[in-house]
Structure 1
């Protein structure tokens, strides 16, 4: 994949965001992402997330997710399959909660555009079992681009620019209580990361979330932990 194609992908995402109704509140998403390798092929990977509709206020969602990871020998491909538990509330003063159980299958792979650019892809398929709704599936594609600042590559004690964009496509439009569009949402993120060592990375930035009806900003704080 050429670097110009990557840049164009991010620019088009930003233009699409500008066409939505803008929600003034900025949310806060706190993420802990972990991976524990047992050998060169097998690992456990997952995350815990706590989200609010406003910074420090109005609970949105809690997520707990885990998966088995398998990476074939001498490849940059990583297959994952796992389960996630989700509980959340609607925007505003309502305390009504909704629970979701979700299965997912991931395909991770890397592309090389330059020695200074770290480019990764994730293709995810989800099977969603949402409380009081019909079964639905969803396809997600994420493009990640990291650019080191104080070193040629992202090694220990490296600051880096982090960019990613993720698009969500629904497999079905009937929820059992209404309908949704095939286009579900798009997330476009830009931030700054720091790799402390082989076990820990930290990342902070701003993400624009776009659905068919709204555009909303989120501050995203992430800890990456290799156990």
Structure 2
């Protein structure tokens, strides 16, 4: 077996199995129906001449497959490439959650969010690894006009493996997998885990389509209520992801570097 393919397969298996022991130690809620994530992203990458870049994104989610719409995101950010392997970004967005059974009543809550992040990228002859570190500040307003704020830390390990070429560019079919943990400084420390397996195709220098499966598990801390101990509870939901990215081009006198088709979510 090709050595690079063996390494990529091992990385994906490790990502897929990383959360299984944690999930097995706590009771889970009854299985929920599959949902759908639709993601559309516009990107302006940095270049050798201008290291500044940015993105804008819209996202919609449904509680069931292609129906029961209940959630949307609108977000954007500004990035700066310190070098080809090191990018920093400042972003912000609006996140609204509704009851799909009563959407005319308005959102149950609206979240405003700002974050800073650092992305480190490792390139081998074929396998690409991305480490993303993010710190978020979140503000919530609920339907009853109550408010709250929270902080959150996130780390994502993302792997890409092109199948028909050594680099990801126009005409490339690729595999993608990631595991992301969400940490709450105020507890529970492990708030969420998100694991993704997918495949994509880059049509040209601008347009990339990815489809995949994501499992998102939320963890609630143990509590004592009315003298009764309530153990840690895990709520997990599986979703189909359809993500379309359009990358803007900019004039450059040098060859464009390889760009990984990372999801901004």
TM-score range, shorter chain: 0.7 to 0.9
Map 1:122-161 onto structure 2 (within 5 A): 122-131=132-141, 132-161=146-175
Q: Does 1:105 align with 2:116?
A: yes
In structure 1, C-alpha distance between the alignment counterparts of 2:15 and 2:62, rounded to whole Å: 28
Q: Where does residue 226 of structure 1 map in the other structure?
A: 247
The Cα of 1:21 is off from its aligned counterpart by 3.0
Q: Does 1:79 align with 2:122?
A: no
- Backbone CA RMSD of aligned residues: 2.2
Q: Where does residue 176 of structure 1 map in the other structure?
A: none
Structure 1 unmatched runs, 5+ = 174-180
SS of 1:156's partner is coil
**Equivalent of residue 118 in structure 1, options 108, 128, 134:** 128
Q: Where does residue 18 of structure 2 map in the other structure?
A: 12
The Cα of 1:40 is off from its aligned counterpart by 2.8
Q: Where does residue 216 of structure 1 map in the other structure?
A: 237
Bigger radius of gyration among the two = 2
Q: Where does residue 195 of structure 1 map in the other structure?
A: 202
Structure 2 unmatched runs, 5+ = 1-6, 220-233, 249-265
State the number of aligned residues: 216
**Equivalent of residue 207 in structure 1, options 207, 214, 219:** 214
Q: Does 1:64 align with 2:64?
A: no
Map 1:22-41 onto structure 2 (within 5 A): 22-37=30-45, 39-41=49-51
Q: Where does residue 62 of structure 2 map in the other structure?
A: 52
For the structure 1 residues 25 and 151, does the alpha-carbon distance in structure 2 shift closer, same or farther, using more than 3 Å as the test?
Answer: same
**CA-to-aligned-CA distance 1:67-98 (integer Å, 9 cap, x gap):** 111112x44111110210111124x6344521
The answer to which structure has the higher strand fraction is 1
In structure 1, C-alpha distance between the alignment counterparts of 2:132 and 2:96, rounded to whole Å: 24
SS of 2:62's partner is strand
**CA-to-aligned-CA distance 1:12-44 (integer Å, 9 cap, x gap):** 124444553352300100001221247531012
In structure 2, C-alpha distance between the alignment counterparts of 1:104 and 1:165, rounded to whole Å: 19
